[in-house]
Copies of this chain bind each other. A is one copy, B any other.
């Protein structure tokens, strides 16, 4: 249900008597959880497994987080905090700055590939998580978008990046299992040549440009298309500057 509303204010008050500073912190727990996900995959994260990782009774975590969903929100928060907005360069085109933001977003998510299935889908209410939104609203406003269009733009932008990265990560995972062409061959065998001529051609000349390049193309195309449609002002788009 409501995931993040319990322990917010009283982080750790220094008790008058014995200062047995709690070995267990939200931070420590989240990092351990993230480590499990990174090392063993999203499915390996359980409260019990987390307990053993922390060398603590599995139920101890429930003192710091109301439930597993809240813990996962903690993970999302941790990963999202890796988004570095300071890298924005205001001297560049709006299109370029939006593209850069997309790549920064993507990199933050992909820095924990096994966690993407969590991070891409859950959305937070913490102020920190809305700072990128405000930033993007600014950018779209600067491009001459109306308030409504800017909001739509941000929504589109965020969904685009998160969705794209998510599917990128699951395709990476399925790549790992197969030894590349083994499945290719099997697949080619199943597809009737006369019904799938283009697919066969494409598979023969294994022409895959790579995930990052694909993301780059898609991002550039989307942003260009959006800006052309909804910005009013002179955008001075001298096309693509290398």
Count, chain A residues at interface, CB 8 A? 67
Using known A-B contacts A163-B164, A221-B222, A225-B223, determine if residue A137 contacts B198 with beta carbons closer than 8 Å: yes
- Check if A130 sits within 8 Å of B163, measured CB to CB: no
- Check if B141 sits within 8 Å of A198, measured CB to CB: yes
Selecting from A27-35, A82-90, A144-152, the interface stretch reads A144-152
A203 CB to nearest chain B CB (Å): 9
Most B Cβ at <10 Å: residue of A1, A134, A168, A198: A198
Q: Which residues of B contact A218 (CB under 8 A)?
A: 156, 159-160, 222, 226
- The A198-237 residues at the B interface (CB cut-off 8 A) are 198-199, 201-202, 205, 207-209, 213-214, 217-218, 220-226, 228-230
A93 CB to nearest chain B CB (Å): 15
* Chain B residue, CB-CB nearest to A156: B218
Using known A-B contacts A160-B163, A201-B147, determine if residue A134 contacts B223 with beta carbons closer than 8 Å: no
Instruction: Decide yes or no whether A180 CB sits under 8 A from chain B.
Output: no
Selecting from A13-21, A57-65, A189-197, the interface stretch reads A189-197
The docked-state distance in angstroms from the alpha carbon of A147 to that of B225 is 23
Picked from B130, B137, B214, B226, the residue with its CB within 8 Å of the CB of A156 is B214
The docked-state distance in angstroms from the alpha carbon of A224 to that of B226 is 9
Selecting from A48-56, A71-79, A100-108, A121-129, the interface stretch reads A121-129
A179 CB to nearest chain B CB (Å): 13
